[in-house]
């Protein structure tokens, strides 16, 4: 009761303090900095600043508010804690209330002040955000982003500053320690998503799909720091000076309150568990191993004829659960071991073969966001393997700073790719030449439409008792990429191809306003006129899918996928904003000409020669035709050159003798970036050089047209670098960049 009444007095005193109101006013205004001066979310455009509407008008201001709020509340906390000493009233106040109660009451009142400031900030910025975000606005996203980003930063600042003051009893040292703590987050911990307490890492905030996973991982970061700082604050309470004694003797007296160290230790253990046991990222090796996907279990005796997966995603807990059945044929008539790749966040709850329990082993060998499950099968000729699996899908750890984009299970959006959807049989040979069927049954909430990466369409086959809809999809292959959301589709006739374009219903107005159909049509017409019509697809059909990601996309036979930033209003309004955003749309469509599985093999030993080189080059040519040479040079050629220079001019690349001095983590990062640089930048520069050497753009177009329409040798159907060089009459040396 005494603490409550003291709290009431302290809060009243704080609210009557002009300094509190001055600080509050500054903090409430500080999100304005995030609109122009401090925009930490990465731009998805090559030049100029562009990110989603939610990122621009909610997350960036919240991040700016977090930093300003933390700094100003730290100053206020230091001033409030040092007030009795500064006014030489501490002897008196200590005589009236116990110093311990005083510290608790001051801390809680400052935490309540932070919460009040946060509430006022939310109210103050609501009208502006509502007007700026328009149809995109979602109150829950607005409130939850501010509460996850800004409020905890202020709370942590209060706890940290209060702890520092209770330890040092010096205002200057307290603020210096706070500055150290803030700078750690802004500099040294910049690449560690768990340690960034003041500026949580946000790569992109979705407008059209979901922010659910992003929020989950920010909240995990907050949970970690909340426990650690609460523990430190409790420990610092032990150093509250008693009876005019120093730190050590006071601690000796205070430690008699045994529950304080016990609770503090418990919180530290909890924090440690939150740090080491984070569920969001896998534990893949940082080194990319180009051989990792090669055959490990190549088994000429076991073939596969079909896959049937029943999936029941849990949209409340964001977990996948499913039962997968695999029809196999074992011609060896001996027991064999087969393997499956699965998301490292999943586990198998049971495995059976022909209805009998089977032995399986989880190798926990995370690599490139997969791990291996081995299953022993008997010598029977016909085998049905049934695996029951589930868990929380983990994202690849090398993508730690762009979390929430590569896998998602939420009420608004589902994105489960390959091993995230179901275990993928590894290295088994298909039983026939025809693509083998892959049947999917999946339960989704009403209002969510499933779309697969391919040309097949889902059929609604029933309704569950909980109101969810059961969908059935028949596709083929060894794995599936499944998307779900408020999808709607439109049919576009583009240069003789029937394009089935799936996008979020939230973007429908945008697609109509800016005539997205025409933008898509232009790309098809350009490529068809230069290289010839697409000839790979049955019934001349293909699919384009918008997903809740940003900064790129992917394509394969029959489907091109791109992030929602490819369809932003700003991108449509100003196509000259720089390579990125909408130009990803063109890039992913062009992959239908120069794509994996039709022109290029999945794994090419010559890593720089891939589907990306010709696709990037063609995108450049298209943009040059549309916006002129100066634009194309600035946004493409200069950027390729800059990236190539960035690699080759790196001190350690130029001076390999020093490479062993560089810590392994940085060496690995450099190695991992080489393939991307060679494919996306060096090869396009070589192709540009080839264009000049063969006599210009027209000649190059003729060569590429001939290569695209060449007579396919089915023994080696893919386009090789040597074939390209031969067609140009050039050698590898001719295209060296020097």
Partner 1 sequence: MGKLFRYELRLIAFNRFYIGFFAVSLCFGWLILSTGTIQGVAHTAPFSPWSFGSYLTDLMPLLSIALLFMVWSFDSGQARRAKPLLNAATIAPFRHAAVKCAAAATAWLLLSAAIMLLGIGFLIFIFGNAVSIPALLAPAVSILLPVILFLMGSGLLALSRSRKIFLGLPPALLALHLLPLPSWMHLLATNFYSTYPLHMDMVDPGFTVPVSFIAGKLGYTLAGMIMLALALRKKYSCHT
Give the x/- contact pattern for partner 1 in 76-105, rule: CB under 8 A. ---x-----xx-x-----------------
Residue 74: CB minimum distance to partner 1, A: 9
Residues in the chain: 738
506-514 contacts, C-beta under 8 A, 24 or more apart: 506/135, 506/136, 506/207, 506/208, 507/208, 507/546, 507/564, 507/567, 509/135, 510/567, 510/569, 510/572, 511/567, 513/569, 513/572, 514/569, 514/572, 514/573
Take residue 494 and report the two structure tokens written for it.
């583009």
- The window from 66-74, 96-104, 344-352, 407-415 that contacts partner 1 (CB under 8 A) reads 66-74
CA 443 to the chain's CA centroid: 25
Terminal Cα distance for the chain, rounded:
79
Q: Please, which residue, 68 or 719, has the CB nearer to partner 1? A: 68
Contact set for partner 1, span 13-32 (CB under 8 A): 19
Helix (H) or strand (E) holding 542: strand 541-547
Does 67 sit near partner 1 (CB under 8 A)? yes
Residue 187: CB minimum distance to partner 1, A: 6
Q: Please, which residue, 646 or 726, has the CB nearer to partner 1? A: 646
Q: Please, which residue, 7 or 26, has the CB nearer to partner 1? A: 26
- The window from 297-305, 349-357, 499-507, 643-651 that contacts partner 1 (CB under 8 A) reads 643-651
- The window from 93-101, 164-172, 225-233, 413-421 that contacts partner 1 (CB under 8 A) reads 164-172
Interacting residue with partner 1 among 6, 59, 62, 75 (CB under 8 A): 75
Beta bridge partners of 487: 504
Contact set for partner 1, span 646-685 (CB under 8 A): 646, 649-652, 654-655, 658, 661-663, 666
In the block, residue with structure tokens 């210096």: 176
Q: Please, which residue, 538 or 661, has the CB nearer to partner 1? A: 661
Q: Please, which residue, 190 or 474, has the CB nearer to partner 1? A: 190
Interacting residue with partner 1 among 17, 29, 138, 168 (CB under 8 A): 168
Between CA 589 and CA 596, with CA 591 as vertex, the angle to 5 degrees is 145
Q: Please, which residue, 76 or 497, has the CB nearer to partner 1? A: 76
Q: Please, which residue, 173 or 675, has the CB nearer to partner 1? A: 173
Beta-carbon contacts of 396 under 8 Å, excluding residues fewer than 6 positions away, are 281, 282, 284, 368, 369, 406
Strands 559-563 vs 541-547: parallel, antiparallel or unpaired: parallel
Residue 642: CB minimum distance to partner 1, A: 9
- The size of the interface with partner 1 (CB under 8 A), counted in residues, is 41
C-alpha–C-alpha distance, residues 357 and 355, integer Å: 7
**What backbone torsions phi and psi does residue 317 show, to the nearest 5 degrees?**
-95, 0
Give the x/- contact pattern for partner 1 in 179-218, rule: CB under 8 A. xx-xxx-xxx------------------------------
CA 340 to the chain's CA centroid: 25
Beta-carbon contacts of 189 under 8 Å, excluding residues fewer than 6 positions away, are 195, 196
Q: Please, which residue, 289 or 646, has the CB nearer to partner 1? A: 646
In the 8-state DSSP scheme, what is residue 393?
P
Interacting residue with partner 1 among 68, 154, 194, 700 (CB under 8 A): 68
Interacting residue with partner 1 among 93, 97, 132, 170 (CB under 8 A): 170
Take residue 86 and report the two structure tokens written for it.
């500064």
Give the x/- contact pattern for partner 1 in 377-406, rule: CB under 8 A. ------------------------------
- The window from 176-184, 237-245, 272-280, 707-715 that contacts partner 1 (CB under 8 A) reads 176-184
Residue 331: CB minimum distance to partner 1, A: 54
**What backbone torsions phi and psi does residue 151 show, to the nearest 5 degrees?**
-60, -50
CB-based burial of residue 720 (10 Å sphere; 0-12 exposed, 13-18 middle, 19+ buried)? middle
Q: Please, which residue, 75 or 590, has the CB nearer to partner 1? A: 75
Interacting residue with partner 1 among 1, 37, 248, 715 (CB under 8 A): 37
Helix (H) or strand (E) holding 405: none
Residue 650: CB minimum distance to partner 1, A: 6
Please give the C-alpha separations between residue 524 and each of 166, 509, 532, 534, 709, in angstroms, as whole numbers. 68, 23, 10, 9, 16
Does 72 sit near partner 1 (CB under 8 A)? yes
- DSSP string of 596-665? BTTTB-SS-SSTTSSHHHHHHHHHHHHHHHHH-HHHHIIIIIHHHHHHHHHHHTSHHHH-GGGGGGS-HH
Beta-carbon contacts of 129 under 8 Å, excluding residues fewer than 6 positions away, are 57, 58, 61, 137, 142
Interacting residue with partner 1 among 9, 176, 255, 712 (CB under 8 A): 176
In the 8-state DSSP scheme, what is residue 392?
P
Please give the C-alpha separations between residue 286 and each of 191, 366, 560, 723, in angstroms, as whole numbers. 14, 10, 28, 34
Please give the C-alpha separations between residue 216 and each of 226, 265, 278, 372, in angstroms, as whole numbers. 15, 25, 11, 27
Residue 550: CB minimum distance to partner 1, A: 22
Q: Please, which residue, 182 or 478, has the CB nearer to partner 1? A: 182
Does 429 sit near partner 1 (CB under 8 A)? no
Residue 286: CB minimum distance to partner 1, A: 15
612 is in an annotated binding site: yes
Does 272 sit near partner 1 (CB under 8 A)? no
Q: Please, which residue, 194 or 469, has the CB nearer to partner 1? A: 194
Give the x/- contact pattern for partner 1 in 570-589, rule: CB under 8 A. --------------------
Residue 229: CB minimum distance to partner 1, A: 17
In the 8-state DSSP scheme, what is residue 154?
H
Interacting residue with partner 1 among 31, 38, 254, 688 (CB under 8 A): 38
Does 286 sit near partner 1 (CB under 8 A)? no
Smallest CA-to-CA distance from 117 within 28, 13, 17 is with: 28
Q: Please, which residue, 71 or 510, has the CB nearer to partner 1? A: 71
Q: Please, which residue, 177 or 353, has the CB nearer to partner 1? A: 177
Contact set for partner 1, span 328-387 (CB under 8 A): none
CB 203 within 8 A of CB 401: yes
CB 197 within 8 A of CB 180: no
CB 404 within 8 A of CB 214: yes
C-alpha–C-alpha distance, residues 397 and 666, integer Å: 15
Residue 737: CB minimum distance to partner 1, A: 16
Q: Please, which residue, 5 or 649, has the CB nearer to partner 1? A: 649
Q: Please, which residue, 269 or 665, has the CB nearer to partner 1? A: 665
Beta bridge partners of 336: 377
C-alpha–C-alpha distance, residues 209 and 58, integer Å: 16
C-alpha–C-alpha distance, residues 738 and 48, integer Å: 31
In the block, residue with structure tokens 């177009």: 701
587 is in an annotated binding site: yes
- The window from 168-176, 290-298, 530-538, 622-630 that contacts partner 1 (CB under 8 A) reads 168-176
Residue 89: CB minimum distance to partner 1, A: 12
308 is in an annotated binding site: no
In the 8-state DSSP scheme, what is residue 443?
E
In the block, residue with structure tokens 């450099």: 670
Residues annotated within the binding site for Zn(2+) are: 587, 591, 612
- Footprint of partner 1 on this chain (CB under 8 A)? 19, 33, 37-38, 67-68, 71-72, 75, 79, 85-86, 88, 168, 170, 172-173, 175-177, 179-180, 182-184, 186-188, 645-646, 649-652, 654-655, 658, 661-663, 666
Q: Cite the annotated binding site by residue number.
A: 587, 591, 612
């Amino acid at each position: 009761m005494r603490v409550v009444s003291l709290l009431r007095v302290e809060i009243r005193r704080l609210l009557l303090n002009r300094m509190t109101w001055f600080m509050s006013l500054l903090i409430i205004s500080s999100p304005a900095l995030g609109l122009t001066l401090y925009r930490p979310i990465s731009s998805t455009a090559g030049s100029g600043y562009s990110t989603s509407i939610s990122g621009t008008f909610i997350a960036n201001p919240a991040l700016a508010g977090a930093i300003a709020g933390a700094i100003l509340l730290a100053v206020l906390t230091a001033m409030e804690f040092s007030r009795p000493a500064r006014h030489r009233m501490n002897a008196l106040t200590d005589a009236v209330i116990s110093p311990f109660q005083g510290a608790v009451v001051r801390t809680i009142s400052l935490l309540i002040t932070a919460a009040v400031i946060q509430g006022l900030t939310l109210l103050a910025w609501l009208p502006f955000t509502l007007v700026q975000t328009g149809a995109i606005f979602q109150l829950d996203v607005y409130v939850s982003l501010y509460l996850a980003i800004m409020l905890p930063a202020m709370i942590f600042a209060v706890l940290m500053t209060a702890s520092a003051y209770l330890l040092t009893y010096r205002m200057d040292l307290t603020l210096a320690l706070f500055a150290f703590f803030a700078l750690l987050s802004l500099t040294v911990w910049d690449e560690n998503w768990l340690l960034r307490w003041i500026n949580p890492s946000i790569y992109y905030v979705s407008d059209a799909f979901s922010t659910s996973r992003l929020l989950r991982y920010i909240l995990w970061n907050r949970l970690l720091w909340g426990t650690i700082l609460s523990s430190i604050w409790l420990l610092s309470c032990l150093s509250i000076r008693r009876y005019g004694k120093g730190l050590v003797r006071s601690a000796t007296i205070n430690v008699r309150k045994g529950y304080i160290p016990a609770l503090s230790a418990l919180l530290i253990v909890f924090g440690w568990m939150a740090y080491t046991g984070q569920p969001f990222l896998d534990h893949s090796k940082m080194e990319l191993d180009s051989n990792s996907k090669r055959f490990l279990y190549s088994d000429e005796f076991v073939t596969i004829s079909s896959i049937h997966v029943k999936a029941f995603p849990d949209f409340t807990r964001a977990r996948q659960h499913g039962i997968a059945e695999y029809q196999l044929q074992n011609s060896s008539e001996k027991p064999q071991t087969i393997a499956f790749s699965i998301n490292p966040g999943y586990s198998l709850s049971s495995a059976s073969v022909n209805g009998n329990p089977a032995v399986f082993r989880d190798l926990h060998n995370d690599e490139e966001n997969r791990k291996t499950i081995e299953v022993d099968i008997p010598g029977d000729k016909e085998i049905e393997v049934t695996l029951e699996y589930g868990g929380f899908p983990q994202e690849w750890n090398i993508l730690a700073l762009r979390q929430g984009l590569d896998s998602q299970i939420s009420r608004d959006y589902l994105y489960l790719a390959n091993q995230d959807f179901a275990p993928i049989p590894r290295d088994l040979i298909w039983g026939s030449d025809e693509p083998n069927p892959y049947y999917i049954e999946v339960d989704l909430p009403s209002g969510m439409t499933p779309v697969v990466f391919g040309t097949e369409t889902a059929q609604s086959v029933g309704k569950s008792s909980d109101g969810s809809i059961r969908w059935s999809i028949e596709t083929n292959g060894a794995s599936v990429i499944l998307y779900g959301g408020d999808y709607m589709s439109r049919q576009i006739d583009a240069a003789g191809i029937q394009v089935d374009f799936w996008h979020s219903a939230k973007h429908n107005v945008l697609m109509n306003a800016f005539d997205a159909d025409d933008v898509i049509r232009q790309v098809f017409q350009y490529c068809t006129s230069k290289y010839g019509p697409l000839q790979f697809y049955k019934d001349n059909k293909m699919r384009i899918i918008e997903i809740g990601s940003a900064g790129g996309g992917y394509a394969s036979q029959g489907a091109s996928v791109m992030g929602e930033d490819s369809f932003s209003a700003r991108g449509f309004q100003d196509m000259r904003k720089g390579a990125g955003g909408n130009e990803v749309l063109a890039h992913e469509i062009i992959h239908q000409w120069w794509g994996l599985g039709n022109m290029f093999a999945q794994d090419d030993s010559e890593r720089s020669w891939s589907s990306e080189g010709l696709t990037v080059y063609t995108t450049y040519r298209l943009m040059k035709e549309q916006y002129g040479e100066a634009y194309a040079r600035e946004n493409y050629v200069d950027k390729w050159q800059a990236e190539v220079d960035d690699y080759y001019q790196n001190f350690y690349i130029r001076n390999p003798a020093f490479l062993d001095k560089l810590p392994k983590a940085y060496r690995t990062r450099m190695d991992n970036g080489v393939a991307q640089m060679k494919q996306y930048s060096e090869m396009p520069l070589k192709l540009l050089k080839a264009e000049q050497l063969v006599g210009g753009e027209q000649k190059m177009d003729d060569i590429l047209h001939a290569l695209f329409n060449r007579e396919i040798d089915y023994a080696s159907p893919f386009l090789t670098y040597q074939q390209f060089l031969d067609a140009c009459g050039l050698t590898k040396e001719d295209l060296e960049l020097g």
